Structure formats: C-alpha cells, structure tokens
Amino acid sequence: MATRPVTHCGVVRSEHCDHMGRMNVMWYVGKFDEASWQLFASVGLSRSRMQKENRGVAGVKQHIEYKRELRAGDVVTVRSAVAWCEAIVLSPPGARRRAYTGLFS
C-alpha cells in the first residue's frame, strides 16, 4: 500500500493531558477530526464546495486504536486514506434545535 498522506501535524500540549499525564481521549478525537477535514478537502470535498453545492459529509464511524500513550511535548502526525466509500442519503425523522437559541441545527 502506498504511504498515506499526512492530514494532521501537531503537538501534545500540557492542557491536553489528564491527571495521569497522558493525552486525554477528547484531544485524540479532535486531532482525528481535523485530519478528517484535511482528507475530505484532499479529495475535493472542501467546505466551500460543499456549501456552494448544498452538500455535506459526516464521519459517522471511526475506529481509533490506542497503541501507545502520548504526553505533553510529543509531536503527533496523522496519516489518513479513504478505505471505502458508498453513497448514503438520510432524511432525519425530526428537526434538531440548539438548546439555548431554539434555532434549527
């Protein structure tokens, strides 16, 4: 398999770590979320294109496997690729509203 492109580069900051000194799960997910948007853009699904064409994408399933702990100061690189793709169209059963404003979301 060809080398996957780099879709995120960053560093673990001390505020990303839990009380045991390891990067907290929510920050792993955030880094993978940023990598997902880089991957989408690399295959032509940029925010501006999706907005222009009134389309969207969602990463509804991700598999994250933790091999080693990350700690403050560690440099992180995420490499991503599209494993498979299929078209899905969903119509939600009801409207969602933002809790504080009452606006549809």
**31-78 tens-digit pLDDT:** 988 988 898 898 888 889 989 998 887 767 777 777 888 999 999 998
User: Is position 61 within any domain?
Assistant: yes
* Displacement of CA 30 from its chain's centroid (Å): 6
Residue 100 lies in a domain: no
Task: Quote the domain boundaries for residue 25.
Answer: 6-79
Q: Which of 6-10, 57-61, 64-68, 94-98 has the lowest mean pLDDT?
A: 94-98
In a domain, 35, yes or no: yes
Residue 91's pLDDT is: 44
Among 15, 57, 10, residue whose Cα is nearest residue 36: 57
Domain containing 48 — which CATH number? 3.10.129.10
> What is the pTM assigned to this prediction?
0.71
Tokens for 29? Answer: 């997910």
Using pLDDT thresholds of 50, 70 and 90, give the confidence band for residue 103: low
The domain tally of the chain equals 1
Q: Would residue 103 count as lying in a domain? A: no
